[in-house]
Amino acid sequence: MWAPISLLGLGLGLAACYAPTPPAGVPCTPPPAGEGICPSGQICSPTGVCQRPGDGGLAPDGASDGGPNDDDDGDGVANAVDNCPKVANPDQANDDGDAFGDACDPCPPFADDPVVDPDGDGVSVACDPFPLIGGDHITLFESFRGTGLPAGWDALGAWSFVAGNAVVTSSDGDLSYLTIPHPHLAKTAVMTQLTVDELIGNGPRALGPVQMYQTLPSQGIVCELLRNGNGPKLTLFDSGGGGVTINDTDGTYDVGTTATLTNRRDGTAYECSEGTTAVTGTTAYTTATPSIGLRAKSASARFAWVLVVD
């Protein structure tokens, strides 16, 4: 059984980036003083920086490895002041205020000074759905910075984008989705942070991240906060057909609740977690048109960001 990762009490930062491979520049402790753990395909240099073999002289993010005007990534920002000198990020976004710009951050929504990455795959433990199994990569981070629907996303229902949040109002009995196509891989985790603004009606009222296996009609595995006649629940739910609860446990869900939910899958095994509380289950389905995203029913809420790790 998976051990849930506690994310409560960590600072949150909002930014948008796409990092398909672990960036170089992650600090490490070189042998023999330390284990020198680095992402796959990288080594720990004598200066204490993870780098690709042959990439000599690599400096940590935020440091210069040459003259004052060097700009290795060509983003118009000199290495000496670039918070991602090896990854182009002209906007220098770094909303969590750690040592990394969002474009090369091992965990964009949570400050990670220092980086804690026990499996050495370039994803910090706060964002790593499998922190002791290497090979994970951040493939999507969307923070809804703009005022319109982000490129590539599809919206069903009433969604707006205000002050760095995706805001949804789902009327009594209605379902709302915000999704983006995403391949069905061996392992996928979808994480989001939400704040509940209103619970509508007296029927089932639910919010959470979803891994869709079919878009029309909308069917997928949802990790959700659910409130109905049985009280607040943390629920792993299959929305296909008439819908079936795979597993649930008591949770915290009311107006004003802020929660970080993670919907993670390893093959046919799923886990829905909120901090130290989690439910697990196994289910199989036929993948028709896979996507990931957010789901709301009979509730209004603000989603601060979506992070996908494969």
Mean pLDDT score, 128-144: 92
CA distances from 195 to 40, 76, 96, 250, 252 (A): 36, 37, 19, 18, 12
Q: Mean pLDDT, the chain, as a whole number?
A: 84
Encode pLDDT of 29-60 as tens digits: 665 545 556 776 676 776 677 776 556 555 55
Higher local confidence (pLDDT), 93 or 176:
176
- Unique residue bearing structure tokens 């595995």: 221
How many Cα atoms occupy the beta-carbon half-sphere of 223 within 13 Å? 29
Of the candidate ranges 102-116, 181-195, 289-303, the one whose mean pLDDT is the lowest: 102-116
Domains of the chain, first to last = 21-136 (no CATH), 154-309 (2.60.120.560)
Backbone angles phi, psi at 177, to 5 degrees: -130, 145
Give residue 169's pLDDT band: very low, low, confident or very high (50, 70, 90).
Answer: very high
Residue 10 pLDDT: 36
Q: Is the pLDDT of residue 232 over 50?
A: yes
- Nearest alpha carbon to residue 24 among 5, 6, 47, 8: 47
Residue 81 pLDDT: 84
Higher local confidence (pLDDT), 215 or 188:
188
Q: Is the pLDDT of residue 197 over 80?
A: yes
Higher local confidence (pLDDT), 50 or 256:
256
pTM, rounded to two decimals: 0.79
Tell me if the bond preceding 32 is cis, omega within 30° of 0: yes
Residue 167 pLDDT: 98
Encode pLDDT of 201-210 as tens digits: 999 999 999 9
Encode pLDDT of 275-287 as tens digits: 889 999 999 888 8
What percentage of the chain has pLDDT greater than the value 90? 55
Tally of CB atoms within 10 A around 150: 17
Encode pLDDT of 66-102 as tens digits: 555 688 888 888 888 888 888 888 988 777 778 888 8
Strand partners, 141: 17, 307
Residue 87 pLDDT: 86
